[in-house]
Structure 1
Amino acid sequence: MGLVSAAILAYLVSTLWQWYRLSHVPGPFWAAFSKFWMVKESLKGRQPAAIKEVTDKYGSLARIGPNELVTDDPEVLRRMMAVRSVYTRGPWYDAMRFDPTKDNLFSMRDEVAHTKLRAKMAAGYSGKENESMEGTIDAVIARLVNLIETKYISTPNDYRPMDFAQKAQYFTLDIISYLAFGQAFGYLEEDDDVFDYIKITNTFIPIMMIISNVPSLARLLQSRFLRGLMPKESDRLGFGAFIGVAKKVVAERFGPSAKSQPDMLGSFIRHGLTQEEASGEALLQVIAGSDTSASTIRFVMLFILTNPTVYKRLQSEIDNLIASGKISSPVKDSEGRQIPYLQACIKEGLRLWPPASGAFFKEVPVGGDVIDGKFIPAGTQIGSSPIGIHRSKKIFGADAELFRPERWLEADAEHFAQMNSTVDLVFHYGKYQCLGKSVALMEFNKIFVELFRRFDFTIVNPEKPVKIQNAGIWIIEDFWIRICRRDL
């Protein structure tokens, strides 16, 4: 009994100390004593919305766990992620290992190793070393257009609805697999969920994001005793099958007769990635690059189709630029960047529904920090409130909850710069900025032009146009649309 009493006393003292060290930061009362609040909101699929409600109620810096705070201040996030910042990634990232035996660029917490690996990979994401990038995206858009033309055109006598949510992810999966491995996995060609990847990841990633709230549980699952429960390369379908494909393709590129290729994987190899590193990073590209880009494409499309004035203005802008010879066929990335209303629509879509909506906790360095006028001790985990940041009325105006692309055209230069730098945080910042940013923006700059120049779209179920869940990423399903050829 003495040991039991001592254990209970030790637990109570530890709990009270944890509560006390951050008791000056407001937040939901019970969240200060356990991670139940965080796990509960993850299980309900509404953690980003719940975190915004917390920062709205308790202030820009709020407490959501025994050692976890969140902020909706863009300046605090920039300071934490700056190149010379002494903040580091917190244990939250331990759950982001796709292969339980090793880290990838996203899960890596060793700052020196992360910087070195990132430097080796950066060139592969640029158009300088990856000269085929824009042509690859054009080729995959052409496949999407062909799929629509051959299977999903409706007429007065023929009704062929298409799930745009599904096809948007087929599109991004084919692009990123083409860029990562030098060959598309064939989602658009097969018009099918190859390897059951989407089905499996829609189950696996929500679990991974829930576990990220309890990093010790992630480390337990990745231990040699339990890692057999994780996806593995011998699996025939899903996540594990992707691991196997990644390793097979990369092994071929490291073979004795292999030649250097002008793609991402070729760049990674030329810059010194080992075979094991290249396998892990190619896999990361597919997982991280396809879901986030697909989410933005879906949301921008949803907002356009549910706002008739936006739809009409965007399509007119595209038509006028085509008529004046300012848009090529296919549209060039450089041309897409110069289409004002298109860019406003893209920025609004990124802003209202940030594609990666996890908390991304960073660890307060030795010596602590002062945030929002409060001293925060070393070791505290500080995450972001992504929806709170990007729907800030202070930054974006009283109608910040509204999709209104015009705000980007009405803003003066100073206000535009403030809004733009805030939206850029969806790609993170500084030493943690997403390497795939240029790829994603190139996709956005092209796909909407190529679709709206050719087709007219109607939402099939206006009373409930789409199903949306959150699991750190957005799981978006049943976005059914009717597509007709335009009479030009």
Structure 2
Amino acid sequence: MGPDIARSPLFIGSFYNHWDRYPTWTLLAALFVIFVLFRVYETARQYRRLRHFKGPPLAAVSKSWLLKTVTGPRGHLEFYKVTKKYGSLARIGPNDLLNDDPGLMRRMLGVRSGYRRSDWYDGMRFNPSRDNVLSCRDEDEHTKLRSKMAAGYSGREVQAFEQKIDDNLVRLIRLIERYVDGRKPFDFGRKAQFFTLDVISDLAFGEPFGFVASDSDMYEYIKTTEENLPVFMGMTVVPWVIRLFRIAKRFSAERFGPDAKVQRDMLGSFVAHGLTQEEAESEILLQIIAGSDTTATAIRATLLYIITNPRVHNKLLAEILSKYNTTARRPIISDAEARNLPYLQAVIKEGLRIFPPVAGLMAKKAPPEGDTWNGVFIPGGTRVGWSSWAMFRRPDVFGEDADEFRPERWLVGQGEDAKEEDGTAGAAEKKLREMEATIELIFSSGRYQCLGRPVALMELDKVFFEHVGRGPEGLIFETNADKGVLSAASTT
């Protein structure tokens, strides 16, 4: 009995009209056979659609390989291995491809692209009843949300935008100094999370949560995040979000109603541009979760590479000290000054490249008519995700030493060979432009570009400058083979 016969009206009608003639076990057996045949048919159909793409054998017929990988602690490394073994466009699920080609990534993110957000983004809906700017899959609604929030994220309508970051960084420096003065060990990774959570809450709601001031995991946010993150990566909504949802509702409620609080912070800007109370609750959750953890990861990962590489540390310190000696000392360096320090900027780019803080697939759905890339057809409706870890280690983009932390690669366009004799870009400058265009994908691009990019880069500029410039001697960073850089940093 083939699947087409089993699904035909004649078969189903005959079976339904005479079901009472069969014993119960026969009925159950028949239903089981029909179910198995249907699953075999569906599996074969899915397999054939993407049979011209290579990948882990199990991934072609089941989602189990993908689910195991995304919920594991080393999924980013598994994806990297897949692209190394099977190529730039590899199969990781019955209807899923993995990409490490920056050209295809930019094509997918283009303003006129036929690719759209896939159901992967449903997992970013932290409020079960309302989309946020990251989870929204409706293009028109997504554009409207971005327009309401762009001014707030840019800092144009946030009072003392940069000063708030400075104030929170001063509190972090003083906290570290207390540990150093007392010769006590401490977990720098945890302090970095405290700092980024205080920054985003101060910018968004007008006051910091107080993680650094209390030197504690307030609301047990970090504890519950770390405990539930593997589950979160494999599910749409998880119960621990409820605790954060209460915080979001409290902050949102203060800005609406007859006694609404009016403040020049991000949330105030969002409301002024038409964000509703329900929308505000969803965006607050996104800010707390996505706006703090990714930046904290970038801080502790890059700092780990700086501290454990004496050449890089000494070169960066020399640049910083030259700045101190030529400029009137401010409590915290301005963002404008930091952006004019070439080696500091090279270190930041290299840190984002060697350990990208965003490891999610961010899968887009191919247009209904399909797409052709490098002569290979991608059927319509196929989910195409990316591996940031693999993309930022491509030797053809970043050089044969792409697995090494070497900030100098970002300075190649400043030498004598940067320009041709006629003034056009030389080979070195073209390579630099290619690398910079690729690393920018960490913040996505086009209509999907991360709204929090200015905040994150400002935090990185200031943290690395101040920590290396003022940093006490004797800081020891430890790593763990299973946890990567989510490790303790201590001083003795």
TM-score in terms of structure 2 length? 0.88
CA offsets 1:266-319 (integer angstroms, 9 cap, x no match)? 110010000111111012111101100000000111000100111111111101
Query: Structure 2: how far apart are the matches of 1:319 and 1:460?
Result: 22
Query: Structure 2: how far apart are the matches of 1:264 and 1:162?
Result: 32
The residue type paired with residue 434 of structure 1 is: C
**Which of 117, 130, 141 is the equivalent residue of 1:113?**
141
Match of 1:230 in 2: 239
Matches within 5 A, 1:26-425: 26-149=54-177, 151-154=178-181, 159-211=183-235, 218=236, 230-231=239-240, 239-325=241-327, 328-411=330-413, 412-425=428-441
CA offsets 1:362-391 (integer angstroms, 9 cap, x no match)? 001111101231111111000001111001
The residue type paired with residue 446 of structure 2 is: G
**How much does 1:19 deviate?**
0.3
**Helix, strand or coil: the match of 2:128?**
coil
Moved over 4 A (4+): none
Report how many residues are paired.
Answer: 450
**How much does 1:2 deviate?**
2.8
Q: State which structure, 1 or 2, has the greater radius of gyration over its C-alpha atoms.
A: 2
**How much does 1:468 deviate?**
6.6
Query: Structure 1: how far apart are the matches of 2:112 and 2:269?
Result: 26
Match of 1:226 in 2: none
Query: Structure 1: how far apart are the matches of 2:351 and 2:79?
Result: 20
Tell me which of the two structures has the higher relative contact order, counting C-alpha pairs closer than 8 angstroms and 6 or more residues apart.
Answer: 1
The residue type paired with residue 414 of structure 1 is: K
Match of 2:490 in 1: 481
Q: Which runs of 5+ in 2 are unaligned?
A: 1-28, 414-427
Q: Which runs of 5+ in 1 are unaligned?
A: 212-217, 223-228, 232-238, 484-488
The residue type paired with residue 82 of structure 1 is: G
**How much does 1:84 deviate?**
2.0
Query: Structure 1: how far apart are the matches of 2:67 and 2:119?
Result: 15
**Helix, strand or coil: the match of 2:90?**
strand
CA offsets 1:82-103 (integer angstroms, 9 cap, x no match)? 1222211111111112122221
Structure 2 CA distance for partners of 1:327 and 1:63, relative to 1, 3 Å: farther
Match of 1:453 in 2: 469
**Helix, strand or coil: the match of 1:410?**
helix
Greater fraction of residues in helix: 2
Residue pair 1:305, 1:457 contacting (<8 A) in 2 also: no
Query: Structure 1: how far apart are the matches of 2:148 and 2:480?
Result: 39
CA offsets 1:129-188 (integer angstroms, 9 cap, x no match)? 224210110010011112122x2114xxx5212211000000000000111111111000
CA offsets 1:419-466 (integer angstroms, 9 cap, x no match)? 1111111111111111000000000111111222222343436xxx12
Residue pair 1:314, 1:342 contacting (<8 A) in 2 also: yes
Match of 2:16 in 1: none
The residue type paired with residue 152 of structure 1 is: Y
Cα root mean square deviation, aligned: 1.7
**How much does 1:250 deviate?**
1.5
TM-score in terms of structure 1 length? 0.89
Structure 2 CA distance for partners of 1:384 and 1:442, relative to 1, 3 Å: same
The residue type paired with residue 138 of structure 1 is: D
Structure 2 CA distance for partners of 1:141 and 1:179, relative to 1, 3 Å: same
Query: Structure 2: how far apart are the matches of 1:125 and 1:197?
Result: 23
Query: Structure 2: how far apart are the matches of 1:249 and 1:163?
Result: 30
Structure 2 CA distance for partners of 1:310 and 1:438, relative to 1, 3 Å: same
Residue pair 1:252, 1:258 contacting (<8 A) in 2 also: yes
1:432 has 2:448 as partner: yes
